[in-house]
């Protein structure tokens, strides 16, 4: 090492004697290191920008997917389905003497069946209620009926059906449940 330093020093002296500018060896290596640093820093900035762009693109794609996911569509179709069910119940109560009664009834039944097929193909399933124990994760109790025949908390009537979408609660079922009558002292 000392030998190399002596040679470098002698070369610098010879260059200085000949009138050439003397550049210390350290300055050249510092410049080389500075260039390497600048190149690496530039690569780092480019990778950082590329990563940020990729993250933003992924977030935008995710938002776009969620915006158009069929869950929202199915939820919007539920009131329409409910109206068909109500219309069927009302039409079935009309006198059968009308000439269009059978055709109207059959048409609405076909619409109801077709709509249910569409909804169930998209992962919708109806929550079972009547005769089942009250489940606060799937049922919403809107009334209680006093009786002693069934166990307390049993669903006795469904007011509005509840639905699951691919196993996840979409809308709870509105139900009436039993509660035992208070025991009177004789």
* Residue 115 phi, psi (nearest 5): -65, -40
**What H or E segment, with its residue span, contains residue 4?**
helix 2-17
pLDDT tens-place string over residues 70-121: 777 777 788 888 888 877 777 776 776 666 777 777 778 888 888 888 888 8
**Mean pLDDT, the chain, whole residue set:** 81
The number of C-alpha atoms within 13 Å of 96 and in the hemisphere containing its C-beta is: 3
Dihedral, CA atoms, 116, 118, 121, 122, nearest 10 degrees?
-110
Alpha helix stretches (DSSP H) within 23-141 = 25-67, 70-92, 101-121
Residue found by looking up tokens 């208070």 in the block: 182
Count of beta carbons in the 10 Å neighbourhood of residue 109: 14
Task: For residue 37, give Cα distances in angstroms to 11, 30, 75, 139.
Answer: 29, 10, 57, 65
Region of poorest pLDDT, from 8-17, 74-83, 143-152, 169-178: 8-17
pLDDT tens-place string over residues 122-159: 888 999 999 899 999 999 999 888 887 888 888 999 99
pLDDT tens-place string over residues 42-68: 999 999 999 999 999 999 988 888 766
Nearest to 152 by CA among 178, 123, 122, 182: 178
């Amino acid at each position: 090492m000392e030998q190399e330093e002596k040679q470098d020093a002698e070369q610098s002296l010879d260059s200085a004697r000949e009138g050439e500018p003397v550049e210390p060896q350290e300055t050249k290596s510092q410049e080389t290191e500075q260039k390497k640093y600048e190149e690496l820093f530039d690569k780092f900035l480019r990778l950082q920008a590329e990563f940020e762009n990729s993250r933003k693109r992924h977030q935008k794609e995710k938002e776009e997917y969620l915006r158009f996911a069929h869950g929202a569509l199915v939820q919007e179709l539920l009131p329409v389905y409910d109206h068909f069910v109500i219309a069927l119940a009302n039409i079935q109560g009309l006198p059968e003497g009308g000439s269009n009664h059978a055709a109207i009834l059959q048409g609405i039944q076909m619409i109801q069946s077709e709509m249910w097929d569409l909804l169930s193909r998209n992962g919708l399933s109806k929550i079972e209620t009547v005769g089942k124990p009250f489940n606060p994760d799937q049922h919403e109790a809107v009334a209680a009926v006093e009786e002693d025949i069934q166990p307390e908390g049993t669903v006795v009537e469904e007011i509005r059906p509840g639905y699951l979408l691919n196993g996840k609660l979409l809308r709870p079922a509105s139900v009436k449940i039993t509660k035992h009558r208070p025991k009177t002292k004789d």
